[in-house]
Amino acid sequence: MAIKRPGAYVALAANYADDEAIMEAGEYAELLYVRILAYCGRTPKTEGWISDKQIRTRLGLELIPEVGPETAPESRANRLAEVGLLVREGNGYRVKSWLRWNRGWEEILRTRSQDRDRKNAPTSGNTGTRTGNKTGSATGRGTGIQHSETETETETDISSSKAASSRLSEPDRFDEFWDTYGKKVDRKGSERKWNQALKKPGITADLLIAAAREYVTWEREHNDASGKYVMDPFKWLHNERWNDERASREATGDSTGAWQRPVSPPSVPPKFVDDPAGYQRWLADWNAGKPVIDANGNTVTKEVRQ
């Protein structure tokens, strides 16, 4: 009998820490790798892909100034690529062995469809049992990294009907986005762009709604309280403005999610990974409130909005 696992999960071989690539990557990169696996496990549409922005903002990891630039999320990801655990792809990375140990999105959908057909099939005679046997076994044995195991046909990587229902009903959350955004212009076109956005790797309704809330809040607080400079929702979705780099949000103690300018160091330029002295000067300039260049070539300054 298959073990029922609550919600999304990702499995690691018990001896994963002995993998040569993991040991070579180092403990800071290892932690990022485990969190990337967990993120991809709960977003199976991505098939092991995660964007640079999600690495910086969704995994709960930040630069540790007292340790050095190698602890910056982007430096950790680059290290994982160097040892062959991640592969650079577009504006993000893909777990190299993801599809070796996990089912692809099309296969997951096909399995779910077969599952529904089986459950809806007529029962056979007086036995009261459904036709078709449930088969399948857990795979993924071997040395090195082991990710999500294959379950029985009635269990997928997100093995609860609640998770499946949530995915199928995601487009219905457009009303929530519409109310959150507030500027109600071109609903039909905006809903079409909303549905298109949800088909992109790593994009969820939660992400879009949160990003929209933060964008509108920032515009109202920094430009005009009436929101007259807030762009139309269609344009915001079309231009993928949920990817905008905004100031880091600090805990404010309220529920508005108000934005502040960054008070923690920005993304570290890669050149400092092999230049500790240069990194210390860069960090000292940042802490002194002087303009510094971040990993994206942007000039940023440590400044807190009062």
Residue 2 within any structural domain of the chain: yes
| Mean pLDDT for all residues in the chain | 74
Lowest-confidence region among 86-100, 123-137, 231-245, 250-264: 250-264
Question: Does residue 77 have a pLDDT over 90?
Answer: yes
Q: What is the pTM of this model?
A: 0.46
**251: in domain:** no
8, 89: one domain: yes
| Confidence category of residue 5, pLDDT binned at 50, 70, 90 | low
Region 169-197 average pLDDT: 84
- pLDDT grade, residue 278 (50/70/90)? confident
Whole-number CA gyration radius for the chain:
23
Q: What is the bridge-based pairing of β-strands 86-89 and 49-51? A: unpaired
> Which alpha helices (H) appear in 43-132, and where do they start and end?
52-57, 73-82, 98-101, 105-120
Last residue of a domain, one of 107, 135, 166: 166
Residue 137 lies in a domain: no
Say whether both 188 and 152 belong to one domain.
no
Torsion sign, CA atoms 18, 102, 38, 68 = positive
Domain count, the chain: 3
Claim to verify: residue 153 and residue 205 sit in the same structural domain: no
Assess if residue 49 is contained within a domain.
Answer: yes
Which pair of structure tokens corresponds to residue 52? 């640079």
The answer to whether position 185 is within a domain reads: yes
Q: What is the mean pLDDT of residues 251-274?
A: 52
**Cβ neighbours of residue 61 closer than 8 Å, sequence gap 6 or more:** 31, 32, 35, 73, 76
Q: Which residues form the domain of 108?
A: 1-117+145-166
What share of residues in the chain are helix, strand, coil (percent, to 5)? Answer: 45, 10, 45
Q: By the 8 A CB rule, do 282 and 302 touch?
A: no
Q: Is there a domain that residue 183 lies in?
A: yes
| Predicted local distance difference test score (pLDDT) of residue 206 | 86
Q: Is residue 91 in a domain?
A: yes
